[in-house]
Amino acid sequence: MTARLRDALRSTAEGVPAYPVYERALATARRDRRRRLAAAAAVVTLLALAGVALPLARTPALDPAAAGDAALPDRIALPPIGTLHVTDRPRLGPASVIFDGRAPRLHGWNDVNVVGVVDADSDRYRIMRMGGESLAGELVHLSPDGRYLARPGGDQDDPGVDVIDLVTGRTRRLASTVGRSVWSTPAGWSADGDSLVVRDDVPVAFDGATYTTVLSAVTVDGQRWTRLAASAQEAHVGSVVAAAPGRLAYQYGRTVAVTDLDGREQSSFTLPDETSLAGKGAWSPDGTALTLTTHRPDTDEWTLRHVDPATGRDVGPLRLPAVPGVVSIRLLGWTPDGSALVAAYQPDPLAPDPPLQEQTGQPSGTDQTVRTVRVLALTPGATAPRTVLTAPDQVVAVDIADQVIRSGRIRDAQPPGGVGGRFWIWTGLLTVLVTIGVLYAGRQRIALWRDDRRVLRARRTGE
């Protein structure tokens, strides 16, 4: 190579810009690390979501017959914060008890009411949120086998009732077929659980000043609606509905009527003063008599008695103890030993007396004079009622599945404490999101720190 050529090459090389090897390598390394951090964060998120979703998705289907060990818990408690909903996985399955009231954990935002649901054979709890009143056993009803929950649904433009399957988590809407109905509410179940009794409010005048209440029997699949009765709203038709195989008894005003599921009235009779149809368990176990509840103002006691469903005449005394000192009682059903299970509404000593016009008729869980509710067993020949279920203060309504009552089993309950599953799910997801946010915001500092560590390691190696 000649000197001339060498000088030319050197001159050309000097004109070529130098390649920043170290800076470019550092930038590439930082970019690769950012990508690895982003990929790691994505993997962490996916793993967290999979950890929540996969166990739920893989939950085996529940067998409704698995509730053969159904038993009544001897106490209930308020649902823990973050309790799973009735439609969440893992499914609850058939329930033993539902309850609600004015307690703080039984209310949500925007006047949302909460109904507590207890598993048939364990102390697993679920909740069901709904707007408006949600009185268990009056506006929300548990099916005889504990599998379904019926509640009001829709609005004035689209009235109907919702039936929630606690085994599958699905909700079936039963849209009302009653003409001009503005509101539908469930009133009770048939004895076999295949049909639901529904009340519809129909305005008489266009201004809605007066209403007629229509009582219907609807199959759970919603395919068949059978009109049972209609009456002025003031008569409270279907305020109490009791079911026996193939028959229904319901109260309207001071009258009790007995019909079949096709709407054919079989009999009716007038109730004496201070007497009402006892509740959903009003039919005797053999279906030959109806049970009435009577309040004796002189002794402030509530008693039960059997009458002939055709005439309303007494058919013999019941050797059951009276229930003293309560606001009212509601008969839930009969146990194998002949005991009557009643929901007894305990008075609130600090509540003011209701207005005179509200002191007539049988009070219910809506009454502000109720402090809590207990379930009592009235055993034949006993001198006093026996408490079989207690509830916290401000739990003022309860309903029990018929199969649980008929089993006669009572278990020692250990209601859950602490927090529920939804609390941990949301806490885990929030933790993952916050971690990702922190890593993303500090990505440059993390990259510089890693680079500094690498340079220091390289220098130590070179030395």
Domain ranges of the chain: 70-419
**Residue 392: which residues within 8 A CB-CB, separation 6 or more?**
76, 77, 78, 103, 372
Q: What confidence score (pLDDT) does residue 462 get? A: 62
Q: Cβ distance 388 to 407 under 8 Å?
A: no
d(CA 373, CA 323): 13
Residue 185 has pLDDT above 80, yes or no: yes
Tens of pLDDT, residue by residue over 389-399, are 999 999 999 99
Least confident among 60-74, 75-89, 173-187, 192-206: 60-74
d(CA 436, CA 434): 5
Q: What confidence score (pLDDT) does residue 373 get? A: 97
Residue 338 CB coordination number (10 Å): 15
| Phi, psi of 381, deg, nearest 5 | 85, -10
Average pLDDT over residues 409-414: 97
Q: Cβ distance 379 to 388 under 8 Å?
A: no
Name the percent of the chain lying above pLDDT 70.
81
Q: How confident is the model at residue 460 (pLDDT cuts 50, 70, 90)?
A: confident
Average pLDDT over residues 295-311: 95
Range 70-419 classified under CATH 2.40.30.10: no
Residue 297 has pLDDT above 70, yes or no: yes
Q: How many CA atoms lie within 13 A of 445 on its CB side?
A: 5
Least confident among 104-113, 118-127, 228-237, 400-409: 104-113
d(CA 397, CA 97): 11
Residue 94 has pLDDT above 90, yes or no: yes
Name the percent of the chain lying above pLDDT 90.
61
**Residue 357: which residues within 8 A CB-CB, separation 6 or more?**
none
Of residues 69 and 338, more confidently modeled:
338
Q: Which residues pair with 399 in a beta bridge?
A: 98
Q: What confidence score (pLDDT) does residue 51 get? A: 45
Residue 260 has pLDDT above 50, yes or no: yes
Q: Cβ distance 404 to 94 under 8 Å?
A: no
If we measure between CA atoms, which residue out of 442, 438, 437, 454 comes closest to residue 29? 454
Average pLDDT, the chain: 85
d(CA 279, CA 19): 91
DSSP string, 232-300: EGGG-TTSSEEEETTEEEEEETTEEEEEETTS-EEEEEEPPTTEEE--TT-B-TTSS-EEEEEEETTTT
Tens of pLDDT, residue by residue over 218-233, are 999 989 999 999 998 8
DSSP string, 105-125: GGB-GGGEEEEEEEESSS--E
Residue 439 has pLDDT above 80, yes or no: no
- From residue 345, how far is each of 252, 318, 367, 454 by CA, in Å? 22, 22, 9, 74
Q: Is the peptide bond before 203 cis (omega within 30 degrees of 0)?
A: no
Dihedral sign from CA coordinates of 261, 264, 269, 273: positive
Question: Encoding tokens for residue 289?
Answer: 């008599």
Residue 176 has pLDDT above 50, yes or no: yes
Between 421-441 and 21-57, two packed helices, what is the crossing angle to 10 degrees?
170
Q: Cβ distance 339 to 380 under 8 Å?
A: yes
Question: Encoding tokens for residue 248?
Answer: 């229904």
Tens of pLDDT, residue by residue over 148-171, are 999 998 888 889 999 999 999 999
d(CA 168, CA 46): 26
Q: Note the Cα 209 to chain centre separation in Å.
A: 33
- From residue 291, how far is each of 124, 241, 266 by CA, in Å? 33, 12, 17
Q: Where are the beta strands (DSSP E) in 297-369?
A: 301-307, 323-324, 328-334, 340-347
Q: What confidence score (pLDDT) does residue 35 get? A: 65
Least confident among 141-145, 227-231, 424-428: 424-428
Q: Which residues pair with 355 in a beta bridge?
A: none
pTM, rounded to two decimals: 0.82
Of residues 55 and 310, more confidently modeled:
310
Tens of pLDDT, residue by residue over 336-387, are 999 999 999 999 987 766 554 444 445 455 557 899 999 999 999 999 999 9
Of residues 386 and 131, more confidently modeled:
386
Q: Note the Cα 152 to chain centre separation in Å.
A: 12
| Phi, psi of 328, deg, nearest 5 | -170, 170
Count of helix runs (H) and strand runs (E) in the chain = 5, 26
